[in-house]
Amino acid sequence: MSGAALSSSPSRDATVADRLSRNRRNQDRLVQALCLLATAIGLAFLLLILATLLYLGAKGLSLGVFTTVTKPPGSHGGLLNAIIGSLIQTGLGTLIGTPIGLLVGTYLAEYSAGSKLGDAVRFVSDVLLSAPSILIGLFVYTVLVSPFGGFSGLAGSVALAVIVIPIVVRTTEDMLRLIPVAMREAAVALGAPKWKAIVFICYRAALDGIATGVLLAIARIAGETAPLLFTSLGNLNWSLSLAQPMSSLPVTIYQYAGSPFDDWVDLAWVAALLITFGVLALNVLARIVLRPRS
């Protein structure tokens, strides 16, 4: 009797194990199906947005869009000053914000262990990361626009730089923390000071991640409207002066999209198309350039 009980015990255990294995496989298939469904929904919305932009934006796309400045309704104006203004303000904002974010992220990852200052800087960076962009625009308006008595492209660039900084800080800190400690120790063992280990070892190893963070920051500020409304304001005339109001594609979209004039609405769709595919082209180009490095 006891022998029969002992012989049936392994078979019972095998049955329980098979049942648990089937349950795990079924749960795995369910999670995979949900992930594929979520991916399909996200891609469907993305394709729908791109198709809408192509359909409505391509109608107003012409050579005059890139060679003519914005003009009053019915004057067959273009977007030349808005395109150049966006490139200047986005580029300058990135140039100002990226080095600051890189240095702050390096401090948090490499030098702030157990430091109250590091915790405070990280907290402020997280607050800035989630702060509404309109509040950043109001802050820069109070600091750079109101005291100097006028809107300017420089103020718009500074507002965009404030948005760039926390994104680059978070990305740089996270990427540097992923670098194995053994790589730092190897550099120090060869006699390299810490700053050289960071610059020549850690930065190179984390280059792809840091570059991705910079691209995310550019994609974020390329479509920001609220900060520019309070800082650079916009300009229907041709102007490259950073001390004067400067046009930009997001502000032009804001001004044109709700207008009762069909040609302005068409230009708003064209501007949205240019911003979207400009950011997409920048991401693709950066991936191609960084691929040999990896």
* Residue type at 129 in one-letter notation: L
Under 8 Å CB-to-CB from 81, ≥6 apart: which residues? 69, 70, 235, 236, 237, 238, 239, 247
Which architecture does CATH list for 63-290?
Answer: Orthogonal Bundle (1.10)
Structure confidence by residue, pLDDT tens digits, 23-82: 899 999 999 999 999 999 999 999 999 999 999 999 889 999 999 999 888 888 999 999
Helix (H) or strand (E) holding 67: helix 63-67
Domain boundaries, the chain: 63-290
CA distance 30 to 139: 48
Cβ atoms of 271 and 279 within 8 Å: the answer is no
- Asked if pLDDT for residue 292 goes beyond 70, the answer is no
Nearest in space to 92 (alpha carbons), one of 137, 138, 152: 152
**How many Å is the Cα radius of gyration of the chain?**
27
CA distance 120 to 123: 5
Structure confidence by residue, pLDDT tens digits, 253-289: 999 998 899 999 999 999 999 999 898 888 887 777 7
Q: What pTM did the predictor assign?
A: 0.86
CA distance 108 to 167: 14
- Asked if pLDDT for residue 4 goes beyond 60, the answer is no
Structure confidence by residue, pLDDT tens digits, 105-147: 999 999 998 899 999 999 999 999 999 999 999 999 999 999 9
pLDDT at 131: 92
- Asked if pLDDT for residue 199 goes beyond 80, the answer is yes
pLDDT at 208: 87
CA distance 218 to 55: 25
The single-letter DSSP state of residue 291 is: T
CA distance 17 to 14: 5
- Mean confidence (pLDDT) of the chain: 90
pLDDT at 7: 52
